[in-house]
Chains A and B, each alone.
Chain A
Amino acid sequence: ETGVTQSPTHLIKTRGQQVTLRCSSQSGHNTVSWYQQALGQGPQFIFQYYREEENGRGNFPPRFSGLQFPNYSSELNVNALELDDSALYLCASSAPGQGRTEAFFGQGTRLTVV
């Protein structure tokens, strides 16, 4: 158990729809990152949030957006879903300001776009 929780665990959406995934970070962790993991591949960095602002982004289009709340929890929003968005979405929290730079991952949300 890492203390990072994600919801829902599984989700099925139709192409063109919008989806919101949620993440609660480990207690005391103020930095949240999101990753996409397609089947058979390693996780790919989407973006990172610190103090409610995005401060790093991978090669993902603007229809991938996020939020971080004052309690450090976070949401990942994906608009205009495409079939290729089907993947495991992972949230990771860390506390770099406390010298703890390792990130702890949640169990992920499995998104299927049909």
Chain B
Amino acid sequence: DAKTTQPTSMDCAEGRAANLPCNHSTISGNEYVYWYRQIHSQGPQYIIHGLKNNETNEMASLIITEDRKSSTLILPHATLRDTAVYYCIVRVAADNYGQNFVFGPGTRLSVLP
């Protein structure tokens, strides 16, 4: 079973920041938080991952709380093309031989014009 809890759906106005929450209260010390998204009928797209420090890349920012029990993915300026299902996954990162990603139902983000 997935170790994360996410809202089923969210709406965001185009041009505004989209903040997608994720709860992972049972996360272990060696588990990272990964975010993927899946646009309709396409393969999941890697967005970002982190351990305990906040991370930023060209797509998004990842904010992890100090106790690591929750995180937020931030899309700073959402566009219509960001409409997708967003998956938050926790998993051991180091030496992932045999490790896999456990996908939950994710959050369906709708960016509205």
Which A residues are closer than 8 A to B by beta carbons? 2, 4, 31, 33, 35, 41-45, 48, 50, 55-56, 58, 88, 90, 92, 94, 96, 101-108, 110
Contacts and interface: CB of A to CB of B under 8 A. Distances in A.
Given A42-B105, A45-B100, A96-B95, A102 B34 contact: yes
Contact of B100 (A41, A56, A102, A105): A56
Interface residues of B, number: 26
A42 B97 contact: no
B100 A94 contact: no
A56 B97 contact: yes
Contacts of B87: 42
Overall SS of chain A's interface: strand
Contacts of A105: 36, 43-46
A45 B104 CA distance: 12
Nearest to B2: A42
Name the 7 nearest CB pairs between A and B, nearest first: A42-B103, A56-B98, A105-B43, A45-B100, A101-B93, A96-B96, A55-B98
A50 B97 contact: yes
